[in-house]
Amino acid sequence: MTITESNDEELRRLIFEKERVIVKFVDDTCPVCKALAPTFAQLSADPAYSDITFVRMSATENPVSSKEVRMTGTPFFAIYRSATLVDCGIVSTEDGIRELLLRLK
């Protein structure tokens, strides 16, 4: 699976079309966001998570989505199941991302 680059409008469509979605909100000036990018890409390609849609969004360019999840900083992750927000928060480790993915299973 690949990572879908999204925006406010596209995210709304995705969470209604796809049963399970994980969203990574990033900022270009965030070093942790950059450090987690390879991990997020590897997890998106892992067959164990093939039923999950991986999405990347700019935190600064998508204020509606950022506000909906009450984003407090980056990297900020949100997980959706059947168009409902399940959990969200700042995640700075691979283990943290894996925990969110397990909650979607």
Q: Mind listing the pLDDT tens digit for each residue in 11-34?
A: 999 999 999 999 999 988 999 999
Share of the chain above pLDDT 90, in %: 79
| Residue in 103, 101, 92 with CA at minimum distance from that of residue 50 | 101
| Residue in 70, 43, 47, 16 with CA at minimum distance from that of residue 78 | 70
pTM of the entire structure? 0.92
Please give the CATH superfamily to which domain 3-104 belongs: Glutaredoxin (3.40.30.10)
pLDDT in tens, 81-100: 999 999 999 999 999 999 99
DSSP letter at 25 equals: E
